[in-house]
């Protein structure tokens, strides 16, 4: 699939069921190798990043099968601890295998992480934290080699609440000797979900959802059957798309409690919202209102993963909006594409100043990373006429079937 062809300009109407969470599934897939047995995962999204991770697990010796919507992973015969370079450079999340490989195999080799080009995303916080638990690292031309013969619990404080570093510490500490007290841990719902998953296998983790985690190492884990939570970023994408295009949309299987910061912004934009039991109805008419000042922030703040979709939606707002990006320095890569559509956006350091315009002009667009690609789909859906979004594979890294979802909302969309 080289590009999406989208005929936009009409209000959305219909309903969508939100897929399983990408950002929860990937660390959970890393965690399954800690257990010398079988794990059943339900609601695991069939997205490119998950498929890459499953190929890595197969290379390690895991047996993997799908039975209807259940993903079954048998990690009994794990026999390798090196992530193939072809996969490691394709996806950033391969770095979280460090913690689980060190926990299970006592050694690991990973290439320097790849994936979306949205900023430097250094891994020094990961390495410093894992060293506190006993890991030793050697830099090699192809990546990192790590050894941790005796993982031992400790007390450590992260200099920044890094999601990936928090996950790596949890994964190594789960089977370490003694207790690990992790301060300034990331509070994202995906961290809480990883803890919930590990605890379902017999791990002993307290404080999930707070900035202070206590992980008491156990000797071994056991089989589990676990359902992955819905994806808050996918839900947020469709919420912002509705605000941009107008319409009446019902989202099902929505993690309402995780979306308060997004709901707040939608209220500022003038969208009406009605919540039910795991459902959210969004109604929007005309151009959205501007958002005078917003900064991305770690959870529970406004997520950086939704900054680009919000930027696209605010391109059509009445008035001037300002978005400050505080997490990744290169999250404004879609600005040139939006300008080609007639958007009026200026970048000053890490701030985007958006003077809303009445309409966007359909054109050819190029996705360069996952969330920016989804944002360009929002812009294309709002523009009157036919647009093409090239490099669709970036979008497929995190959206299970965006074509099906948007067709259900009345958008004429196809892949070519």
Pair of tokens at residue 394: 């970036």
HSE of 223, CA atoms in CB hemisphere, 13 A: 8
Report CA-CA distances (Å) from 249 to 66, 86, 307, 313, 412. 31, 40, 21, 16, 16
Of 30, 41, 398, 40, nearest to 232 by C-alpha is 398
- The residue length of the chain stands at 416
Q: Residue 221 carries which DSSP code?
A: -
Coil, helix or strand at residue 262:
helix
Of 413, 414, 415, which is closest to residue 9 (Cα–Cα)?
Answer: 413
CB neighbours of 323 closer than 8 A, spacing ≥ 6?
Answer: 291, 294, 295, 296, 307, 310, 311, 314, 351, 352, 354
Q: Which residues contact 366 (CB under 8 A, 6 or more apart)?
A: 337, 376, 389, 390, 391
Query: What burial class does residue 392 get, using C-beta atoms within 10 Å of its C-beta: 0-12 exposed, 13-18 middle, 19+ buried?
Result: buried
17 included as an active-site residue: no
Residue of 44, 116, 181, 290 marked active site = 116
- The encoded tokens of residue 198 equal 């590990």
What gap in Å lies between CA 195 and CA 327, rounded to an integer?
Answer: 24
State the catalytic residues: 116
């Amino acid at each position: 699939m080289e590009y999406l062809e989208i005929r936009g300009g009409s209000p959305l109407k219909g309903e969508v069921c939100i897929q399983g969470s990408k950002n929860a599934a990937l660390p959970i897939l890393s965690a399954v190798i800690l257990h010398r047995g079988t794990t059943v995962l339900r609601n695991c999204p069939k997205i490119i990043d998950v498929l890459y991770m499953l190929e890595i697990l197969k290379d390690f010796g895991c047996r993997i099968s799908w039975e209807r919507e259940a993903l079954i992973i048998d990690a009994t015969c794990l026999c390798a601890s090196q992530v193939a370079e072809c996969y490691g450079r394709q996806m950033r999340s391969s770095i979280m295998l460090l913690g689980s490989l060190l926990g299970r195999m006592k050694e690991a080799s990973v290439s320097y992480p790849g994936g979306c080009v949205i900023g430097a995303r250094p891994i020094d916080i990961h390495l410093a934290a894992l060293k506190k638990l006993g890991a030793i690292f050697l830099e090699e031309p192809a990546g990192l080699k790590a050894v941790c013969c005796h993982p031992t619990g400790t007390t450590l404080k992260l200099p920044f609440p890094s999601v990936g570093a928090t996950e790596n510490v949890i994964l190594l500490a789960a089977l370490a000797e003694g207790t690990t007290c992790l301060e300034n841990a990331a509070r994202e719902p995906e961290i809480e979900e990883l803890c919930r998953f590990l605890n379902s296998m017999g791990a002993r983790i307290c404080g999930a959802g707070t900035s202070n985690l206590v992980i008491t190492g156990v000797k071994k884990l056991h089989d589990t059957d676990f359902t992955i939570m819905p994806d808050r970023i996918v839900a947020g994408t469709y919420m912002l798309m509705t605000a941009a295009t107008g319409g009446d949309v019902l989202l099902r299987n929505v993690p309402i409690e995780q979306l308060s910061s997004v709901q707040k912004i939608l209220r500022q934009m003038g969208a009406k919202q009605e919540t039910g039991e795991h459902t959210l109805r969004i109604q929007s008419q005309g151009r959205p209102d501007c958002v005078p000042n917003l900064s991305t922030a770690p959870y529970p703040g406004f997520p950086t993963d939704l900054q680009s979709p919000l930027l696209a939606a605010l391109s059509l707002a009445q008035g001037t909006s300002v978005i400050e990006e505080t997490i990744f320095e290169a999250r404004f890569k879609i600005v040139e594409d939006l300008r080609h559509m007639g958007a009026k956006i200026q970048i000053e350091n890490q701030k985007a100043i958006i003077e809303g315009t009445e309409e966007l002009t359909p054109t050819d667009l190029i996705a360069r990373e996952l969330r920016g690609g989804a944002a360009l789909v929002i812009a294309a859906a709002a523009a009157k006429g036919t647009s093409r979004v090239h490099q669709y594979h970036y979008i497929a890294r995190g959206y299970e079937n965006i074509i099906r979802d948007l067709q259900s909302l009345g958008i004429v969309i196809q892949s070519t």
